[in-house]
Amino acid sequence: MNQNIAATTAKKIPVTIITGFLGAGKTTLLRNLLSRSNGRRIAIVVNEFGSLGIDGEILRSCGIEGCADDDIVELTNGCLCCTVADDFIPTMESLIDRPNPPEHIVIETSGLALPKPLLKAFSWPGIRTRMTVDGVITLVDAPAVASGRFADDPEAVALQRQEDPSLDHDNPLAEVYEDQLNAADLVVLNKTDLLDEAALALVERNIADVVSRKLVTLRAVEGRLDPAILLGIGAAAEDDLEKRPSNHDGADDHEHDDFESFVVTVPEQKSADDFLIHLAEVASKYDILRMKGFAAVTGKKMRLAVQGVGTRFRHEFDVPLSGEHREGRIVVIGQHGFDRAAIEADLMRL
Ligand SMILES: Nc1nc2c(ncn2[C@@H]2O[C@H](COP(=O)(O)OP(=O)(O)OP(=O)(O)O)[C@@H](O)[C@H]2O)c(=O)[nH]1
């Protein structure tokens, strides 16, 4: 049989795209999914915005049986939706060209990625015949929505519209939120442990207002859902892109310069508790969207891993510190124009 015909008739490998804003719980959901995969060969492609490759490291250190290191591929060279041709397509091709290709591929996009350019890549020749988008799963950070994180400021929009009547938003966060929701086949309302029923109902109404079609929304804590719900949706999302509107439809390209990130090297800390309080204060003072990284703490042999979404932090002592290396590194992500020098100086302060 001619090779092309063989490729089209062979079963396509299903690909699930996990999207959701910075810190919504994508890596956490993936960890739970992998731990319940029952030996199914799942390859993971992780893309992060300006980071230390922390998500890949978290997944690799999950200790899940059958989850081999080379099943986790990191794309840290920019945002996946902008590097489709250079990075993404070759990565996907190399995964399926393996002698023992994965049964399912799951892509964790960066929290700032717009899913639509990525979906379009599945129409590319060479990809279209060999893979299909089984489903786009959009995670929503319920408390972040409830706090108005993605809401437009009506007064600011009105003011800007006087200058530019075509303007939709003044708020890049709202654009990313809407694009991610409108690309979805399934919405996972995550972190429901942090809100009461009334607040959750309001968030669900907000989602329904944003999404232009009817979508299933499931509530979750730590993205804990049965893999049978998450995988095997069978959406073939690449075939109905017109149903998935984007704020960037019509634009050939888009930029991520609404957001920026940098890494701060932090000294050894005297106390984990004080460090966490300090991080939350800095996050609040500069309205930082996301912080994550590692630090050494005096007297501790294990590394302190910290995760912050807004001012909410979690931590664990995760792996033994190696050698004499006692410096820590924290990734800081925020909206363009935040005061990098002041944040760095504040974080360096013990
Ligand atoms: N309370 C609570 N915290 C959660 C839940 N799910 C995730 N988290 C925490 O939220 C933080 C961010 O979770 P991640 O899984 O790293 O989020 P992410 O979407 O992968 O983050 P980025 O890759 O930076 O966009 C971590 O501290 C998690 O432990 C949840 O259901 N409830």
pLDDT given for residue 89 in this prediction: 86
Distance CA 276, CA 287 (A): 16
Ligand 1 neighbour 28 (Cβ under 6 A): yes
pLDDT given for residue 117 in this prediction: 87
One-letter amino acid at 91 equals T
Residue given tokens 């999914």 in the structure block: 33
pLDDT given for residue 2 in this prediction: 47
Which residue owns the Cα nearest ligand 1 atom 9? 25
Question: If you count DSSP H runs as helices and E runs as strands, how many of each does the chain have, helices first?
Answer: 12, 12
Condensed to tens digits (0 to 9), the pLDDT of residues 240-294 reads 999 999 987 766 555 566 888 899 999 999 999 999 999 999 999 999 999 999 9
pLDDT given for residue 8 in this prediction: 47
Ligand 1 neighbour 26 (Cβ under 6 A): yes
pLDDT given for residue 288 in this prediction: 94
pLDDT given for residue 256 in this prediction: 61
191 alpha carbon – ligand 1 mean position (Å): 8
Ligand 1 neighbour 62 (Cβ under 6 A): no
pLDDT given for residue 48 in this prediction: 76
For residue 184, CA distances in Å to 54, 59, 83, 192, 219 come to 25, 24, 21, 19, 15
Which residue owns the Cα nearest ligand 1 atom 15? 25
Ligand 1 neighbour 56 (Cβ under 6 A): no
190 alpha carbon – ligand 1 mean position (Å): 9
pLDDT given for residue 209 in this prediction: 93
Q: Contact 26/136 with Cβ under 8 angstroms?
A: no
The domains located in the chain, with CATH, are 3-243 (3.40.50.300), 259-348 (3.30.1220.10)
pLDDT given for residue 324 in this prediction: 63
pLDDT given for residue 135 in this prediction: 97
The 3-state DSSP class for residue 33 equals helix
The predicted model scores a pTM of 0.88
For residue 349, CA distances in Å to 267, 279, 291, 339 come to 9, 11, 16, 16
pLDDT given for residue 7 in this prediction: 46
pLDDT given for residue 218 in this prediction: 98
Ligand 1 neighbour 193 (Cβ under 6 A): yes
pLDDT given for residue 1 in this prediction: 42
Residues of the chain with pLDDT under 70: 1-10, 50-53, 61-69, 76-85, 153-170, 250-257, 323-325, 350
Condensed to tens digits (0 to 9), the pLDDT of residues 205-234 reads 999 999 988 999 999 999 999 999 999 999
